Chains A and B, each alone.
Chain A
Amino acid sequence: HYTASTRQAHSKHILLQLNSLQYTVFQIAKEFTLPVVCVSVFFLCLSLYLSGLSLYLSGLSLYLSGLSLYLSGLSLYPSGLSLYPSGLSLYPPGLSLYPPGLSLYPPGLSLYPPGLSLYPPGLSLYPPGLSLYPPGLSLYLSGLSLYLSGSLPCPSVSDPQWYAARQSIRLDPKGKSLKDEDVLQHLPVGTTATFYFRDLGAQISWVTVFLTEYGGPLLLYLMFYFRAPFIYAPKYDFTTSKHWVVHLACMCHSFHYLKRLLETLFVHRFSHGTMPLRNIFKNCTYYWGFAAWMAYYINHPLYTPPTIYGEQQVRIALIIFLFCQVGNFSIHIALRNLRPPGSKTRKIPYPTKNPFTWIFLLVSCPNYTYELGSWFGFTLMTQCLPVAFFTAVGFIQMTVWAKGKHRSYLKEFRDYPPLRSPILPFVL
């Protein structure tokens, strides 16, 4: 069936490759029929919704273009608050039709001083842009599927079925996988070596997964914020909330996910290139589902701003949120600087000159601590139960990860500082 051939890449490394059938995108689809069907049904419904939306909006644009001529002379266009284009520029294929139409939108819909309606000028330009959206979306989806299949490090006609990323080669069937950098001469083998091969299943790159799972919440929240039709009652379409907390929450949420997207592209260094393909469905469901659930309530016309301590609560929450965002970013930078580019060395992180990293004295995984703090701040800011649920679930998951990381630190480094806790100082 398949022959194992050893191929020496260069004198120090041996790569075992199994030659067999070619692995096609069709086989990927067969392996994950149910998730693929669910995803395509979801996108089909989404495109139907958006086509209906564009019809509605083209009618609206006729009215508004007349109005905009009058108002454009009066309106202010604060620049700098166009979150959309920057977030969307990360989705090149297919969506390139979107930003031109939509980049005209934010200036019109950006934060305005209460009482001054900037809507109509920006909005009159919106429908034409949006009516291009469904065809753009279908292009995007075909592009995305090509991109996903391309990002799986395999499918070319001559490649073997089990490409390197999904090979797990071990000395012991129940043991840990050998690393790419392992050298045969340094392994505990005698004159003959027996390797056990395991197929890890279809793999997808971390960067792809992160971009997709963070891009969704960014867009979904904004859809709810701008009150796209068919979400709330028709009389609320494209209205904005009268509570300034809602605008603030939108900015915070969007900033958070934008920060995550940029960190994925420019800051993080991933030790494993890939993860199992089914993770993208699982992760996206989690992030997108929760983002939609939270956004629905925060941007609801009947939303009640914090009542317990009112404005003061929101201010404190904002300070906590921003503090933790900066902290989270500092930790990511500090972790990135631990590891020179391209290497996979593992070192103990220590506090640097940046005060936000001094938490390393007490905590092993302060990025999770700060993340928890950010979401806690966001919960306080919005006083919304779904947000509290999201924070709680995230806290549980991050605690599990932090404990695992803490344990592996302790196992790997003998001189690991004893004062540190996994995620919460002294407590957890």
Chain B
Amino acid sequence: MSAPAIGTTKTAHSDVAPKKKRGPGALATAYLVIYNVVMTAGWLVIAVGLVRAYLVRGSYHGLYFSIEKPLKFFQTGALLEILHCAVGIVPSSVVLTGFQVLSRVFLTWAVTHSVREVQSEDSVLLFVSAWTITEIIRYSFYTFSLLNHLPYLIKWARYTFFLVLYPMGVTGELLTIYAALPYVQKTGLYSVTLPNKYNFSFDYYTFLILTMVSYIPLFPQLYFHMMRQRKKVLAHVEEYKTE
């Protein structure tokens, strides 16, 4: 079992065939379709918002502010996916999904939202755009799978775009965290120091550094896992096509 990297641009559910569901009945399937459609629409809104803001401003700096609210809303909405796994209507592991979603939410709220100074950084645009494209493809992939009408293009896109988007997103995330470090250290954000009544201390600055370090083992694992998935999924289709 390969652990996913934090804030992965291509969330790798261990689902080569999500169509193989024994769990959800008709009601759950309907709910999931609605959920995935809403999420696809949401991320499309973010994509359109980014493009419009670029056209209006003429430059790609500071585009985060134009899509801040929908980004927060829809990324936080992904927390529902953990619930789906816990209840059983999606055949993924709760721990794996939880880890992925929580890392995304962590980046959205605990880094980008909390440290205002990084919001104007270009690295934010880097990972936001990577996430946007990934999520649009991923949610439409799930929607079509649930309806059993998956166009090959979507499947191909899902298992190919990550090759570029994933490193792009990881770079954006790392640069953002790195940019946030001096401000966190200066203001002591989210940190607790000794002495205090409960004899506990937490240094958010060190925590962020450790987070960055944790990308080193996790990123290659997940990247190569996705590459293996790609070979498996797209190779099957090749065989099927040649028959």
Contact = CB atoms under 8 A, between A and B. Distances in A.
A and B physically associate: yes
Interface of A: 297-298, 300, 302-304, 307, 382-386
Which of A298, A304, A382, A384 has the most chain B CB within a 10 Å cutoff?
A304
A382 B197 CA distance: 10
B66 interface: no
A384 B194 contact: no
Complex A-B, nearest 5 residue pairs according to Cβ-Cβ distance, in ascending order? A385-B200, A302-B195, A384-B199, A302-B194, A385-B198
B201 to A, nearest CB: 7
Contacts of B198: 383-385
Nearest to A34: B217
A303 B199 contact: yes
Contacts of B196: 304
A300 B194 contact: yes
Contact of B197 (A297, A307, A386): A307
Nearest to B202: A385
A298 B200 CA distance: 9
Contacts of B197: 304, 307, 383
Contacts of B194: 297, 300, 302-303
Which of B194, B197, B198, B201 has the most chain A CB within a 10 Å cutoff?
B198
Interface string B174-218: 000000000000000000001111111100000000000000000
Nearest to A385: B200
Contacts of B200: 297, 384-386
A298 B199 CA distance: 7
Interface of B: 194-201
A240 to B, nearest CB: 17
B198 to A, nearest CB: 4
A302 B197 CA distance: 11
A297 B199 CA distance: 6
A297 B195 CA distance: 10
A303 B201 contact: no
Contacts of B195: 302-304
Nearest to B194: A302
Nearest to B193: A302
A6 B197 CA distance: 66
Nearest to B198: A385
Contacts of B201: 297
B195 to A, nearest CB: 4
A292 to B, nearest CB: 14
Nearest to A298: B199
B116 to A, nearest CB: 29
B109 to A, nearest CB: 23
A303 B199 CA distance: 6
A376 to B, nearest CB: 16
Which of B196, B197, B198, B199 has the most chain A CB within a 10 Å cutoff?
B199
Contacts of A384: 198-200
A307 B195 CA distance: 12
A146 B87 CA distance: 47
Contacts of A304: 195-197, 199
23 contacts: A297-B194, A297-B199, A297-B200, A297-B201, A300-B194, A300-B199, A302-B194, A302-B195, A303-B194, A303-B199, A304-B195, A304-B196, A304-B197, A307-B197, A382-B199, A383-B197, A383-B198, A383-B199, A384-B198, A384-B199, A384-B200, A385-B199, A386-B199
A297 B193 CA distance: 11
Contacts of A307: 197
Nearest to B196: A304
B192 to A, nearest CB: 9
Nearest to A303: B199
